Structure 1
Amino acid sequence: MDLLLHRLRAAGFDAVTAEAAHGGVVALAGLATLRDGSRVFAKTLRAGADDLFEVEAEGLRALSVAGLTTPEVLAVTPRLLVLEPLPPRRDDDERFWEQLARDVAHLHTTTRGDRFGWHRDGWLGRLRQDNTWHSDGHAFLAQRRILRWLPEPLVEAAFDAAERRALERLCAALPELLPPRPPVLTHGDLWRENILSGRAGGAALIDPAVSYSWAEADLSMLWCSPRPPDSDRFFEVYADAAGLEAGWRDRLPLFHLRELLSSIAHDDYAAECAEAVREIIAPFA
């Protein structure tokens, strides 16, 4: 926290104290109190990833322009990101999840693009997210979101040659498994810890890994990661607002492969995630 306070002061924030925040895998983060009693949320890096905060701030602004609630970006440098602080979400409020569903449905139905990807690479945790533009959604999902992780050392060590071939066969079969859908702007890392409460009490989103991708890629993060109790209402309202084609529950694990492989690459619940990958690729072994 001393490093965070030092960098806040160097950026012009008269920070007095900072309380550490937990849960991230890259940055040192905390809630800082300024001399006038106001508070800011800040992140800093010890080293590396010089454009991480710039990419994150750009993603927050893109989502905000698209109509979602995100924290205001107060300052961004290669070593510091300062945001408006937001309160935690309430998991027992069904109306909260209903509003989030309408917000995400609006994002997915009003931001259609003509290519998959983003104008720059991003970050997922401490590793690069390959956002190279692609006109073919199935190829984009295979190359940029799934197979991209195979060369990572911990992923390479987790699977034998037969398992890697099974994953490659699954990717080759994606055109038969997934109905073609248009690219839309996605948050990219829409799991429960990246959902907070906004200024007006609705949902606010943080820590994006934005790109134009499949809408179901966002849904997979909420469906396949541990879900808060009332989040089931999210999928009911989303289906009414944006539509969900038959078989969506069977398709979401395919999109979730990216998150499972990324977690292995980050050594985050790696053994558990590797078993989940094996279950998904079993039909292609």
Structure 2
Amino acid sequence: MDLLLDRLRTAGFDAVAAEAAQGGVVALAGLATLRDGSRVFAKTLRADVPDLFEVEAEGLRVLRAMGGVTTPEVLAVTPRLLVLEPLPPRRDDDGRFWEELARAVAHLHTTTQSDRFGWHRDGWLGRLRQDNTWDTDGHAFLARRRILRWLPEPRVEAAFDAAERRALERLCAALPDLLPPRPPVLTHGDLWRENILSGRTGGPALIDPAVSYSWAEADLSMLWCSPRPPASDRFFEVYADAAGLDGGWRDRLPLFHLRELLSSIAHDDHAAECAEAVREIVAPFA
């Protein structure tokens, strides 16, 4: 953690100790104690990625300002360092916590409708670029910017043969028949369990966004398709009441989750397991 401490001190934080955070595939992160006894959460990069932290800080501010979502306060951001207000862990086993999260995400999705999919700048998913090029066609946006965008990545190229790649392309061509049209809304973009914490008052707070105007169900897919506690079932029940979910949503969410599976392969994160999941989803198009 010496690198993190050095960069905190360079940025004007009198840090005396740091405890490494668990998880994450990109940054060196930890909870730092300052000389006055206060604490901050900070992360840095071993290799420079010029705008990664700037994009993340913007995403946190946008979610709070436009969507009313609780996010940690940004205390400092530089090309090499992001310093945030520290937050408590989420309450995994508390159904009311997941109900509050559902209402917050439903509010985000129902109050931020746009006329275009995308964002004014590209973002980051892990250590790789998220292509946010504007598009008025949601099916084309999902296909080109969220699914097919990953095929040229070296580890993804190596994971699938030509027939499997063609099956994925045929699935993308069929998206207009598989997904009913929906308007673009502001999305967190990486809404899995580890990016959910508690705010200072105990309610849910979100971290590590990859924001864009996208499909609301793209956010839901991250939570539904990744490991989560049983109490989180309440999220989907309450979200459906607050925002509405058409029949068949459980069958649609794996299509949106293709982006996360392909990204995980590209990052070499449980790559073999994710490749098998992709093959299962595209099997009807083989």
TM-score range normalised by the length of the shorter chain:
over 0.9
Aligned-residue RMSD, C-alpha? 0.5
SS in 1 for 2:246: coil
The correspondence of residues 237-248 of structure 1 with structure 2, limited to 5 A, is 237-248=238-249
Is 1:11 aligned to residue 11 of structure 2? yes
Residue 9 of structure 1 aligns with an amino acid whose one-letter code is R
Alpha-carbon shift at residue 228 of structure 1 (Å): 1.2
Is 1:23 aligned to residue 50 of structure 2? no
Could you tell me which residue of structure 2 aligns to residue 46 of structure 1? 46
SS in 1 for 2:9: helix
Determine what percentage of the aligned residue pairs are the same residue: 90
Q: Which runs of 4+ in 1 moved over 2 A?
A: none
Could you tell me which residue of structure 2 aligns to residue 146 of structure 1? 147
Residue 177 of structure 1 aligns with an amino acid whose one-letter code is L
Could you tell me which residue of structure 1 aligns to residue 166 of structure 2? 165
Counterpart CA distance in 2 for 1:43 and 1:60 is 15
SS in 1 for 2:116: coil
TM-score by length of 1: 0.99
Alpha-carbon shift at residue 227 of structure 1 (Å): 1.5
The correspondence of residues 87-166 of structure 1 with structure 2, limited to 5 A, is 87-166=88-167
Could you tell me which residue of structure 2 aligns to residue 59 of structure 1? 59
Counterpart CA distance in 2 for 1:226 and 1:46 is 28
Residue 167 of structure 2 aligns with an amino acid whose one-letter code is A
Residue 163 of structure 1 aligns with an amino acid whose one-letter code is E
* Preserved CA contact (<8 Å) 2:150 2:156: yes
TM-score by length of 2: 0.99
Alpha-carbon shift at residue 49 of structure 1 (Å): 1.4
Is 1:36 aligned to residue 53 of structure 2? no
Counterpart CA distance in 2 for 1:46 and 1:154 is 22
* Preserved CA contact (<8 Å) 2:48 2:79: no
Counterpart CA distance in 2 for 1:224 and 1:22 is 21
Could you tell me which residue of structure 2 aligns to residue 268 of structure 1? 269
Alpha-carbon shift at residue 48 of structure 1 (Å): 2.6
User: Which runs of 5 or more residues in structure 2 are unaligned?
Assistant: none
Cα deviation, 1:110-130, whole Å, max 9, x if unaligned, reads: 000110000000000010000
Counterpart CA distance in 2 for 1:121 and 1:22 is 27
Residue 259 of structure 1 aligns with an amino acid whose one-letter code is E
Counterpart CA distance in 2 for 1:14 and 1:49 is 25
Once structures 1 and 2 are overlaid, which stretch shifts more, 43-52 or 246-255?
Answer: 43-52
Counterpart CA distance in 2 for 1:246 and 1:213 is 20
Is 1:83 aligned to residue 80 of structure 2? no
Alpha-carbon shift at residue 63 of structure 1 (Å): 0.4
SS in 2 for 1:75: strand
Counterpart CA distance in 1 for 2:45 and 2:160 is 32
SS in 2 for 1:31: strand
* Preserved CA contact (<8 Å) 2:72 2:207: yes
Counterpart CA distance in 2 for 1:170 and 1:129 is 21
Alpha-carbon shift at residue 240 of structure 1 (Å): 0.3
Alpha-carbon shift at residue 196 of structure 1 (Å): 0.4
Alpha-carbon shift at residue 90 of structure 1 (Å): 1.2
Cα deviation, 1:17-69, whole Å, max 9, x if unaligned, reads: 00111211111001000011000000011123110000000000000112000
Q: What is the aligned residue count?
A: 285
User: Which runs of 5 or more residues in structure 1 are unaligned?
Assistant: none
Could you tell me which residue of structure 2 aligns to residue 212 of structure 1? 213
Counterpart CA distance in 1 for 2:13 and 2:48 is 23
Cα deviation, 1:70-93, whole Å, max 9, x if unaligned, reads: 000000000000000001011111
SS in 1 for 2:201: coil
Cα deviation, 1:120-146, whole Å, max 9, x if unaligned, reads: 000000100000000100000000000
